[in-house]
């Protein structure tokens, strides 16, 4: 597949790219800072310069044209204010959703967050972050694409265990970014995960079994 990753210089994306390349996929990584291009090239991706926060629909469409799948792994990041949670975590995701729908790109994998199913009210930054994630997830479901929404618990930089736990609801805990990347690489080409939202934490289940487990969960809207 030709896979475009938004937020391609982020920690999860940089772990994901080599996995996808090793699986035989072409990977294009959207970044806004051209200085990050050489890092993406070392990972095996082609750099696509596009500031999703500021770009219009034409520019976003050009960035993803010809893709078979999109992975949204972008985010405003720590230290950003509430406004950028909306313009990046929701706004950029929505621009890519709209581009995918217009261009006929059916496959869209969203890296969301635990807690996005019931975001707390208020204007505290983390609350707004979860509100923005929830809105982006809802936008994706409403678009009718072949979506998979992944909501990991607290992320760590530990080496991947190769095992996780998934479900419509999991206990709060930790999961490594490496294992999140492995889950994305496993589900992206598996139709059993289309139309599903699931939570992800560390556990004992081999990641290769994740698509089967997800396929047996209720689909979104069912």
pLDDT tens for the chain, residues 1 to 222: 999 999 999 999 999 999 999 999 999 999 999 999 999 999 999 999 999 999 999 999 999 999 999 999 999 887 788 889 999 999 999 999 999 999 999 999 999 999 999 999 999 999 999 999 999 999 999 999 999 999 999 999 999 999 999 999 999 999 999 999 999 999 999 999 999 999 999 999 999 999 999 999 999 987
Choosing from 72, 86, 108, 129, the catalytic residue is 129
Selection from 149, 165, 148, 162 nearest residue 213 by Cα:
165
Q: What integer pLDDT is reported at residue 77 of this predicted model?
A: 80
Per domain, the residue ranges of the chain are 2-215
- Active-site residue, 129 included: yes
Distance separating alpha carbons of residues 215 and 129, to the nearest angstrom: 28
CATH of 2-215 given 3.40.50.300, 3.40.50.720, 3.90.650.10, 3.10.129.10: 3.40.50.720
pTM over 0.95: yes
Element of type H or E holding 185: helix 177-187
Distance separating alpha carbons of residues 179 and 11, to the nearest angstrom: 12
66 Ramachandran zone, left/alpha/beta (phi>0; psi -120 to 50): left
Q: What integer pLDDT is reported at residue 82 of this predicted model?
A: 85
What six digits make up the tokens of 93? 């995701």
Strands 2-6 and 26-31: parallel
Q: What integer pLDDT is reported at residue 76 of this predicted model?
A: 81
Query: What is the distance of C-alpha 138 from the center of its chain?
Result: 14
β-bridge mates for residue 108, sequence order: 70, 147
């Amino acid at each position: 597949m030709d896979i475009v990753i938004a937020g391609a210089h982020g920690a999860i994306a940089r772990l994901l790219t080599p996995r996808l390349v090793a699986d035989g996929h072409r990977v294009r990584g959207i970044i806004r800072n051209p200085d990050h291009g050489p890092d993406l090239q070392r990972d095996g991706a082609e750099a696509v310069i596009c500031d999703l926060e500021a770009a219009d629909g034409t520019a976003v469409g050009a960035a993803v044209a010809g893709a078979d799948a999109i992975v949204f792994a972008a985010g405003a990041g720590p230290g950003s204010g509430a406004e950028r949670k909306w313009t990046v975590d929701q706004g950029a995701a929505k621009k890519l959703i709209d581009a995918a729908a217009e261009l006929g790109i059916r496959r869209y994998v969203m890296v969301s967050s635990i807690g996005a199913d019931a975001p707390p009210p208020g204007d505290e930054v983390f609350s707004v972050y979860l509100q923005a994630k929830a809105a982006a997830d809802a936008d994706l479901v409403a678009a009718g694409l072949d979506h998979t929404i992944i909501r990991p618990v607290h992320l760590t930089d530990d080496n991947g265990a190769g095992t996780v736990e998934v479900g419509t609801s999991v206990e709060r805990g930790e999961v490594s970014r490496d294992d999140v990347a492995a889950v994305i690489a496993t589900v992206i080409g598996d139709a059993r995960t289309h139309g599903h939202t699931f939570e992800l934490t560390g556990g004992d289940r081999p990641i290769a079994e994740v698509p089967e487990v997800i396929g047996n969960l209720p689909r979104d809207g069912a």
